[in-house]
């Protein structure tokens, strides 16, 4: 019976939670005593946020945090444990298992991880490698059944995970056995622990959970690495490698104020530092202090987000939404925009990271907060657009100087890939053939940085807006970069006219961004066959009720999978794409907007519907503010830009 049916699940008092923030808008929840609650009333925003998820979805985020805290002897506060347990139970599937993400079918990877996590607050032998790394470190799996840590990874999110894991694997770090772990050894396997030949499972994974089949090259590389490790490697090389890896871990920690890039590598960094340093070292303490910003409380319990928030990303889209709604000069919204302006000011990077292998970041913006430490191309692009709108078009003080805007442009130009597109965190540094060494088993396309239509279009739009307001700064470089990026968008269009989206679901998301990017470059329905094909794709997917709906399985299957129900967010995406393309029949967009209006509540918001985000083609992630951002932008653009533009076109004819 699923745990959600149990009457014994405890919960905390939601009225005692308060959302704290610091000077750079890092968020973390704090649980007050009953006396403190009387002295500090709960705000409207806190009550509202307690009902929202934040970047939740993947099953390996919260479990990693729980394992890391357990391994490093951190006493989990009872209110955390209560709400973490409630969240895990809430997302158990009807068959008793858990999925790779909250809307996914049950698999061994997630089920074993969640089961062990619940005991800390199918058979595990065929769990994928990421589960095995944790199980081995927590002394529930033998290291001989774990694949060697890959030696050549170029995509940032995989690279920063395998960096600390390589230290743990190389030193076979394990937490000491205790009564609980001995019990778990009996509970999670279908035969006695000491009788299992773990090495025989080195390349065996439950077939329904392997998203990418192992190939001979990776198998040979793993066996060669194992032979080197067991029989050849001199101790001095091992010690030298340990020192090098520990130094890179230190750089990552210090460049991110011990936040690290995201939840997964944050947990592994904490564990690696715990084993490499003294258990009560300053580094371990600082890591423990930075756990809380990753945890989010809502009506389902406490979960770990994909990062320490999405503050910059959400703020940028909020600015764009208010502007497109025609409210930029409305006195009611000037203070809101002023606060957003100041936040984007303090969140911009004004230096490069102290790291020999990091992408230039000066002038760019991160995804969440400044102490995340990493630039993202589309976050930098949307940040540049937002500042230009605020300072050049809405009349706010120029607190972000021209030099800092130019820094952002220079950094964006440095991020363009050889195929003329733009990736996420950095310029592509290696060949796609490295995917043959992909060890993750559950993720596609995670070994190198790729170009994406979404990121490419965001950069095109930002560069074009900058060019409009600052025509004399690097005009030749900007024009050349935009022309090349437009060529990339043409080259990656699918045969059916769509574009594959890698960060949202899926073809609807990618097509919206591609049409917006092409429109910024002067390619519209009237002038471009590619744009007409993109519009035709969207027209064919419009549902009878006027909306659009696409399931997350599109990302995994790489073909459009229709949702049984129109989705507000995806309807807004489709309408925005059509309007950007200047599709001439406004009744199509009007039908979509009417659905958005019908779904709006009396208080102005929209209810959360199906999941909106994706990464690595297999793992969904929630963006709860998208239903506000894109709906407002679609409604506003129709009245303030699209209809007037169509009228002007007709008059010109």
Give the model confidence (pLDDT) of 566-607 as tens digits: 999 999 999 999 999 999 999 999 999 999 999 999 999 999
CATH number, span 317-652: 1.50.10.20
% of the chain surpassing 90 pLDDT: 66
Where does 100-257 have alpha helices with state H? Answer: 108-120, 129-137, 156-170, 179-187, 216-227, 235-255
Which residues, including other chains, have CB under 8 Å from residue 38's CB and lie 6 or more apart? Answer: none
List the structure tokens of 303. Answer: 């979960």
List the structure tokens of 455. Answer: 């990121």
Which residues, including other chains, have CB under 8 Å from residue 65's CB and lie 6 or more apart? Answer: 263, 266, 267, 291, 294, 295, 304
% of the chain surpassing 70 pLDDT: 93
14-304 matches 317-652 in fold: yes
Residue 6 binned pLDDT confidence (cut-offs 50, 70, 90): very low
Nearest to 250 by CA among 284, 206, 300: 284
Residue 1 binned pLDDT confidence (cut-offs 50, 70, 90): very low
Can you say how many angstroms the Cα of residue 581 is from the centroid of all Cα atoms in its chain? 28
- Read off the pLDDT of each residue in 459-478 and give the average, rounded to a whole number: 98
Write down the pLDDT at residue 53: 65
How many residues are there in the chain?
Answer: 653
Write down the pLDDT at residue 589: 95
- Read off the pLDDT of each residue in 320-348 and give the average, rounded to a whole number: 96
Q: Where is pLDDT greater, at 164 or 203? A: 164
Whether residue 103 is predicted with pLDDT greater than 80 in this model: the reply is no
- Read off the pLDDT of each residue in 408-416 and give the average, rounded to a whole number: 98
Given the structure tokens 């008793």, which residue do they identify? 96
Write down the pLDDT at residue 447: 79
Nearest to 612 by CA among 592, 590, 629, 588: 629
Write down the pLDDT at residue 50: 87
Q: What is the rounded distance in angstroms from the CA atom of residue 629 to the CA atom of residue 614?
A: 18
Residue 109 binned pLDDT confidence (cut-offs 50, 70, 90): confident
Whole-angstrom Cα Rg for the chain:
25
Q: Where is pLDDT greater, at 1 or 88? A: 88
Write down the pLDDT at residue 2: 43
Residue 299 binned pLDDT confidence (cut-offs 50, 70, 90): confident
Computed over every residue of the chain, the mean pLDDT equals 89
Domain boundaries, the chain: 14-304, 317-652
Query: CATH class for domain 14-304?
Result: mainly alpha
Q: Which residues are catalytic?
A: 378
- Read off the pLDDT of each residue in 619-647 and give the average, rounded to a whole number: 91
Residue 176 binned pLDDT confidence (cut-offs 50, 70, 90): very high
Whether residue 123 is predicted with pLDDT greater than 60 in this model: the reply is no
- Read off the pLDDT of each residue in 332-348 and give the average, rounded to a whole number: 97
Whether residue 107 is predicted with pLDDT greater than 60 in this model: the reply is yes
């Amino acid at each position: 019976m699923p745990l959600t049916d149990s009457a014994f699940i405890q919960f905390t008092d939601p009225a005692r939670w308060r959302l704290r923030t610091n000077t750079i808008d890092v968020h973390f929840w704090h649980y007050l005593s009953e006396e403190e609650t009387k002295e500090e009333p709960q705000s409207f925003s806190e009550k509202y946020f307690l009902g929202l998820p934040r970047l939740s979805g993947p099953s390996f985020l919260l479990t990693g945090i729980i394992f890391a805290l357990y391994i490093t002897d951190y006493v989990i506060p009872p209110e955390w444990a209560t709400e973490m347990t409630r969240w895990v139970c809430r997302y158990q599937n009807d068959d008793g298992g858990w999925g790779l993400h909250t809307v996914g079918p049950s698999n061994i990877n997630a089920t074993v991880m969640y089961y062990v996590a619940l005991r800390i607050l199918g058979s595990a032998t065929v769990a994928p490698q990421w589960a095995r790394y944790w199980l081995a470190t927590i002394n529930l799996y033998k290291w001989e059944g774990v694949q060697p840590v890959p030696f050549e990874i170029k995509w940032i999110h995989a690279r920063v995970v395998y960096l600390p894991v390589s230290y743990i694997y190389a030193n076979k770090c394990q937490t000491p056995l205790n009564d609980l772990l001995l019990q778990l050894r009996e509970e999670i396997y279908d035969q006695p622990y000491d009788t299992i030949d773990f090495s025989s499972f080195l390349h065996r994974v439950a077939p329904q959970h392997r998203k990418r089949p192992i190939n001979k090259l990776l198998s040979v590389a793993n066996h060669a690495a194992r032979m080197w490790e067991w029989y050849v490697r001199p101790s001095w090389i091992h010690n030298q490698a340990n020192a090098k890896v520990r130094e890179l871990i230190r750089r990552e920690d210090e460049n991110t104020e011990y936040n690290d890039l995201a939840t997964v590598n944050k947990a592994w960094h904490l564990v690696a530092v715990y084993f490499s340093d003294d258990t009560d070292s300053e580094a371990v303490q600082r890591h423990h202090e930075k756990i809380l910003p990753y945890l989010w409380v809502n009506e389902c319990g406490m979960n770990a987000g994909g990062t320490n928030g999405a503050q910059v990303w959400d703020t940028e889209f909020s600015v764009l939404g208010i502007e497109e709604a025609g409210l930029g000069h409305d006195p009611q919204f000037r203070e809101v925009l002023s606060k957003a302006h100041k936040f984007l000011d303090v969140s911009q990077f004004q230096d490069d990271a102290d790291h020999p292998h990091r992408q230039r970041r000066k002038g760019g913006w991160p995804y969440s907060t400044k102490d995340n430490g990493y630039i993202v191309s589309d976050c930098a692009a949307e940040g540049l657009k937002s500042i230009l709108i605020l300072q050049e078009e809405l009349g706010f003080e120029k607190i972000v100087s021209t030099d800092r805007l130019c820094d952002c442009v220079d950094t964006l130009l440095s991020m363009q890939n050889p195929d003329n597109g733009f990736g996420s965190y950095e310029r592509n540094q290696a060949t796609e053939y490295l995917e043959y060494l992909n060890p993750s088993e559950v993720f596609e396309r995670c070994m190198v940085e790729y170009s994406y239509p979404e990121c490419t279009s965001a950069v095109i739009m930002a560069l074009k807006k900058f060019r409009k307001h600052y025509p004399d700064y690097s005009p030749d470089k900007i024009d050349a970069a935009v022309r090349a990026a437009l060529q990339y968008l043409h080259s990656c269009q699918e045969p059916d006219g769509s574009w594959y989206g890698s960060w949202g679901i899926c073809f609807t998301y990618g097509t919206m961004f591609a049409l917006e990017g092409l429109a910024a470059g002067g390619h519209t329905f009237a002038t471009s066959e590619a744009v007409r094909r993109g519009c035709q794709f969207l027209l064919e997917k419009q549902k009878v009720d006027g909306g659009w709906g696409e399931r997350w399985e599109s990302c995994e299957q790489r073909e459009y999978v229709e949702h049984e129900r129109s989705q507000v967010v995806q309807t807004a995406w489709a309408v925005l794409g059509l309007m950007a393309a200047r599709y001439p029949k406004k009744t199509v967009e009007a039908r979509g907007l009417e659905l958005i209006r019908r779904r709006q509540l009396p208080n102005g918001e929209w209810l959360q519907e199906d999941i909106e985000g994706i990464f690595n083609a297999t793992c969904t992630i929630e963006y709860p503010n998208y239903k506000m951002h894109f709906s407002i932008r679609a409604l506003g653009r129709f009245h303030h830009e699209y209809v007037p533009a169509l009228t002007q076109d007709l008059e010109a004819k």
